[in-house]
Amino acid sequence: MSAGRFIYLTTFGTEKRLLLAVAKNLREVLGFDVRFSHLLLPPSVGYDPRRKQHRGSALLEHLSKVYYPDMLKFLALIPFDLYEEGFNFIFGLAKLGGSHALVSTYRLWSGEERLFFERVCKEVNHELGHTFGLMHCKTPLCVMNFSNTLQEVDAKSRFFCERCNKILPKP
C-alpha cells in the first residue's frame, strides 16, 4: 500500500557489521535501498516469563504501528528468542502481503561470522518475500523454502528461484 522505496531496517543494538551485511544483501537480492530505523523496542513487549521467550506475533503487531513516509517494507532484527503458538521457536514472522516483518538472530548464531551473517540474510530475504506476497516454495535452493532447523536454513541459498523472482516487484 506504500509508495515508499526504502526497506527500513531496525538497529536495536545489532552489531554494525551485521547491519551493513544485511543492507548490502538487500540491495543485491531485492534491489531496494535500505534506511535504518533507530526506534527502541521495550523488552517487555510480547515477553512470556514462563517460556522465557517473546511471542513473535505480539512483537509484529507492536512494530506494525511504525511507518515512514518513504517506507516500502519494515524489517526488524530481533535479538530475543521468539515463539509462536504451535512452535517451540520461530526464526521469523511476516504477514503475507504485509509491510512489516521480523527475524530473530537468536538461534541463527554460529561461531563463524560469515555463516551467521549468511543465515540472517536468508531469513531476512525469506520474511520479506512473504511481505511481497510469496508463499513457501519447494524449488531446491530457493530462499522461500520453509526452514525450521539450522540444517534447513543452511541448505538453501539467499536467492529467490526464477518463479518466485518474477512475483517480486522491481525497484
Q: If you search the block for the grid coordinates 563463524, which residue do you land on? A: 112
Closest approach, Cβ 131 to Zn ion, in A, equals 11
Q: Which residues are catalytic?
A: 127
Q: What is the distance between the alpha carbons of residues 164 and 47, in angstroms, rounded to a whole number?
A: 34
> How many residues does the structure list for the chain?
171
Site string for Zn ion, 137-166 (x = CB under 5 A): x-x--x-x----------------x--x--
* H/E stretch holding 65: none
Q: Phi, psi at residue 88, to the nearest 5°?
A: -65, -35
Determine the longest span between alpha carbons in the chain, in angstroms: 44
Q: Give the residue with the Cβ less far from Zn ion, 37 or 139.
A: 139
Closest approach, Cβ 43 to Zn ion, in A, equals 25
Site string for Zn ion, 43-82 (x = CB under 5 A): ----------------------------------------
Identify residues 112-141 at the interface with Zn ion (CB under 5 A). Answer: 137, 139
Q: Give the residue with the Cβ less far from Zn ion, 41 or 153.
A: 153
Apex 80 CA angle, 77 and 81, nearest 5: 115
